[in-house]
Structure 1
Amino acid sequence: MKNSYDVIVIGGGPAGCMAAGLVAESGLSTLLLERESVPRFHIGESLMPECYWPLQRLGMIDRMNASKFTRKKSVQFVGASGKESAPFYFTQHDPRESSTTWQVERAEFDRMLFERAGELGAECHDRTRVLDVLLDENQAARGVKVRTTEGQTLEIDARVIMDGSGLQALIANKLSLREDMPNLQKAAIWAYYKNAKRDDGDNAGATIVMHTLEKDSWFWFIPLSDDVTSIGCVGDSDYMVKTGLDSEARYNLELSRCPGLASRLEDAERVSKIHVAKEYSYSTRQHSGQGWVLIGDAFGFIDPLYSSGVYFALVMGERAADAVIEGFRKNDLSAQQLGNWCENFKSGSQLIKKLVEAFYTKEFSFGGFIRDNPQFGGNLTDLLIGRIFYDGAEKIFDQMDPAIEEAQQASPMQ
């Protein structure tokens, strides 16, 4: 490693690789640092169809199509009784190639992105831990302190730091910018299975979202390659991990309470340990500063429900990269310049947050809402595929917000 770069990108996930690849391609000297050994395990395996466009810009579509990743053409929802909705087939909404997406093993997917960033000119180092982001007295970034693979501690200068450090959130924690989402304090417990039963045809690769009895939790069902399926349970953190049951017992109890999974797991075998993540939903109150910008989960994370995490990471990496490239061209690396994309991004991502909150409202039924308001079917599918950055994407909530309020008022639990 040199002792100075134009841009240092922290984190070798989708946001960091996207950002590093694009800024390096523009001619800026770029250092990409990942603390783990690449490839490394990560959750977040289901891609929204709109991932197609940032992946296309990065030159990844042919590689994705040549991969063994499961093709995802639909999503489906299963109620607490086990009743299945009709699948949402993306191509019925948009017949273009972009409507077929992927269920990915993140170790392999992130490795492909990491290598692509290197091909585009970024200097990429894994097993290199960023110990600190160095700020001056005005909280302007000036570099990082790292521990190398060989155990050396170095300080490296940079004019811009792009923080894609994930839930470690180096800058946000250093500057106390993190704000938890009190109504989304969830926990996830998941494992991997062989031979779980999948549907036939175009729904074989579907992400399936299944409620448990009483809607106390929900399961994801994500078909991966080699007949492995990711099956995870999400619920309130207090319910999932703070009730006296260990994670294994809680997971097995919720499995027994999920009618939609019973037939799918009749011949299945669990092939992994139990994994747990908790209280991961948060936002940040400031997203950029002089010489620094937050991207990916370091910017914030909503919820795994609609598989928006990787898509948001790619979009943030792309938009932040464009802001950085323009900033160097204009010799303006201010907070305003590096974060000029943030408000538009937040406006779009808020629609997914509202959709998540609607799902967690026990009294509300999406199926009933669409039956009563069929004119919003296309709008809802737009949100499910990630098409959220256009005027009018929010229109569904003009009717959904009062419908949720009416359902809550009519509920005998009130």
Structure 2
Amino acid sequence: MPPTHQAYDCVVLGAGPAGCTAAALIAQAGFSSLLVDRDSLPREHVGESLMPETYWVFEKLGVLEQLNQSRFAKKVGVQFVNNTGKESQPFFFRNHDPHPSSETWHVERAEFDQLLFNNARAKGAECLDQTRALDVLTDGERVTGVRLQSGGQPINVDARVVVDCTGQQSLLANKFGLKQVNPNLRKASIWRHYRGADRDESGGGVKTIISHTRDKQAWFWYIPLSGDIVSVGVVADNDYLLKGRGKPEQVFQEELLKCDGVRQRVEGAEPLDDLRVAKEFSYSTDRPAGDGWVLAGDAWGFIDPVYSSGVYFAMKSADMAADCVIDALRHDDPSAARLGAWNDEFSAGTKWVRKLVHAFYSGEFRVGKFAKEHPEHMGALTNLLIGRMFHPDVPKLFDDLDPWLERMSAQSADDSDEDEPADGLPAIA
């Protein structure tokens, strides 16, 4: 079905969590909004574990009641398993803050994305799937609309603002040459789902489990979903995981045999026939906006799946970008300055998560050991794991963590305490 109008205040490209968030908020503010996606919805997607701080975007969108009544598995914490198979104590988010925002969900993305898509429509956005964005329309350097195709002949649709939420497709970032792959995080992942795998619901819900392989060349996620399904994925350097090692199925099984923390949990479970691969997914963009256009979600950038920040970053960036779009439309000034005004604050927050990701991959970051030496930073670290990246105490964490990691890399860690949890916090091996 083609769009019902030839012009909109805003066209949002991509109906993932970012696009649905932006379209809903802009339409809710009273502006005509068109949301399009090239695929048929619902569709499966990786990124099933949410960060607790996503709660506040859900509240703004008005979907908390639907989520609370959904079948999605309640996520109450995280647990880490080191390369020897030693498990940390479960790390429950509510112990840091008992507010409902400290617990979240593991979601089936097809159902979750459809919920957000339907919500954008309910808020007044026109929402179309199976509609491909072929290109953007321009007047000089200003973007003035999009060229769409939905089954028939391509049509031009004018827009005062175009919001690119096309994910890793990154339509505008690729068109304008803004995308930069992070050379230090050229990772790849292989993942699938299992039925009947181990399911620990002690503590009132499920936990994300992060487990290293014995040789520390890779790590696995283990995400219990609803309906006795578990998402299991392996992440490692792209060259190590995908080059010269045979088919992805074979590589996945080889790495699984080296990961006791996950292998034991899926023993006897049924692997589903849905193996998928993604590679070199860590990237950034040179600028967030231009005249008549703005990026949000994975089209703006993606760091790494290790701390489950992807959906939160997508929705939070879209929330902040939508505020700027609304401001620009109200002032009839869809300039790069107004549309990109959200970026400095957001980038300042995501910088700390990026640094924590690099700490994880350094091989030297052990929370238990760090906590013994710097217990004053555990609140800030917890804030980052929950998603409170804008908290004023977070930058102070790295004043001590950065030199501590350098010291750890320069000396051999004592085997007697390198994996010891402190005060119920996880030890990251």
Question: Counterpart of 1:73 in 2: which secondary structure?
Answer: strand
TM-score relative to the length of structure 1: 0.97
Aligned-partner Cα distance in 2 for 1:364–1:119? 45
Match of 1:400 in 2: 401
- How far apart are residue 410 of structure 1 and its match? 1.8
* Helix, strand or coil at the partner of 1:306: coil
CA distance in 1, matches of 2:94, 2:245: 45
Aligned to 2:348: 347
Query: 1:375 and 1:228 mapped to 2: Cα distance?
Result: 38
> What is the distance in 2 between the residues matched to 1:81 and 1:390?
34
Deviations 1:189-227 (A, max 9, x none): 001001111224227510000011121000000000100
Is the deviation greater in 242-251 or in 382-391?
242-251
Q: Tell me if structure 2 keeps the 8 A contact 1:193–1:272.
A: no
Aligned to 2:267: 266
Distance 1:60 1:107 in 2: 16
- State the partner residue of 2:137: 134
Deviations 1:37-92 (Å, cap 9, x if unpaired)? 11111110000000100001000000000100000000111100111111111111
| Alpha-carbon distance in structure 1 between the residues aligned to 2:215 and 2:357 | 18
Question: Matched residues in 2 for 1:274 and 1:88: separation?
Answer: 29
Which stretch has the larger CA shift, 168-177 or 392-401? Answer: 392-401
1:26 counterpart letter in structure 2:
A
Deviations 1:231-287 (A, max 9, x none): 000000000001332211110010000011232122211013311000011000011
Contact 2:245–2:251 (CA under 8 A) maintained in structure 1: no
Residue 79 (str. 1) matches residue 82 (str. 2): yes
CA contact (8 A) 1:198 1:204 kept: no
In the aligned structure 1, how far is the partner of 2:342 from the partner of 2:300? 13
Give, as a single letter, the amino acid of the residue that structure 1 aligns with 2:194.
Answer: Y
- SS class of match (1:388): coil
SS of the equivalent of 2:145 reads strand
Contact 1:219–1:233, Cα closer than 8 Å, also in 2:
yes
Instruction: Indicate whether 1:60 and 2:29 are aligned.
Output: no
CA contact (8 A) 1:74 1:203 kept: no
TM-score of the aligned structures, taking structure 2 as reference length: 0.94
Question: Identical aligned pairs, as a percentage?
Answer: 50
CA contact (8 A) 1:135 1:141 kept: yes
Deviation of the 1:119 alpha carbon:
0.5
Q: Retained in 2: the 8 A contact 1:7–1:30?
A: yes
Post-superposition Cα deviations, 1:282-325, rounded to whole Å, max 9, x if no partner, equal 00001100010000000000000001010011111111111111
Query: Aligned pair 1:144/2:173, yes or no?
Result: no
Q: Which residue number in structure 1 is paired with residue 418 of structure 2?
A: none
Q: Which of 47, 50, 54 lines up with 1:47 in the alignment?
A: 50
Q: Find the aligned partners of 2:266 and 2:29 in 1 and give their Cα distance.
A: 49
Letter in 1 for 2:300: F
- Work out the CA distance in 1 between the residues paired with 2:400 and 2:57: 31
Q: Is the 8 A contact 2:133 2:147 kept in 1?
A: yes
2:19 to 16, 20, 23: 16
Cα distance between partner residues in 2 of 1:235 and 1:84: 21
The CA deviation at 1:364 is 3.2
**Partners of 2:383 and 2:391 within 8 A in 1:** no
- Aligned partner of 1:34 in structure 2 is 37
Q: Aligned pair count?
A: 410
- Change over 3 Å in CA distance of 1:203–1:196 after alignment to 2: farther
Partner AA of 1:223 in structure 2: P
Which consecutive residues of structure 1, in runs of 5 or more, have no partner in the other structure?
none
* Corresponding residue of 1:89: 92
Equivalents in 2 of 1:135, 1:407: separation in Å? 53
Q: Give 2:404's aligned amino acid.
A: A
- Measured in 2, the distance between the counterparts of 1:371 and 1:187 equals 33
Q: Distance in 2 between matches of 1:391 and 1:98?
A: 19
Matched residue, 2:103: 100
Task: Classify the secondary structure of the residue corresponding to 2:156.
Answer: strand
- Per the alignment, residue 306 of structure 2 pairs with 305
Equivalent residues of 1:293, 1:320 under 8 A apart: yes
* Higher deviation after alignment, 193-202 or 60-69: 193-202
Partners of 1:229 and 1:266 lie apart in 2 by: 12
SS of the residue 1:243 aligns to: coil
Partners in 2 of 1:316 and 1:72 — Cα distance? 22
SS at match of 1:202: coil
Matching residue of 1:156: 157
Q: Which stretch of structure 1 is more off in the superposition, 1-10 or 360-369?
A: 360-369
Counterpart-to-counterpart distance in 1, 2:326 and 2:15: 19
Instruction: Provide the secondary structure at the position in 2 that maps to 1:394.
Output: helix
Q: Is the 8 A contact 1:11 1:163 kept in 2?
A: yes
Secondary structure of the residue aligned to 1:39 is coil
2:282 alignment partner in structure 1 = 281
Question: Contact 1:90–1:99 (CA<8 Å) still a contact in 2?
Answer: yes
Q: 1:391: Cα distance to partner?
A: 1.9
Structure 2, unaligned runs of 5 or more = 414-429
Work out whether residues 83 and 259 of structure 2, in 8 Å CA contact, stay in contact via their aligned partners in 1.
yes
Distance 1:351 1:240 in 2: 27
Hey, what does 2:421 align to over in structure 1? none
Amino acid at match of 2:148: V
CA–CA distance in structure 2, aligned partners of residues 136 and 258 of structure 1: 55
Instruction: Find the aligned partners of 2:281 and 2:132 in 1 and give their Cα distance.
Output: 22
Q: Which amino acid in the other structure matches residue 34 of structure 1?
A: D
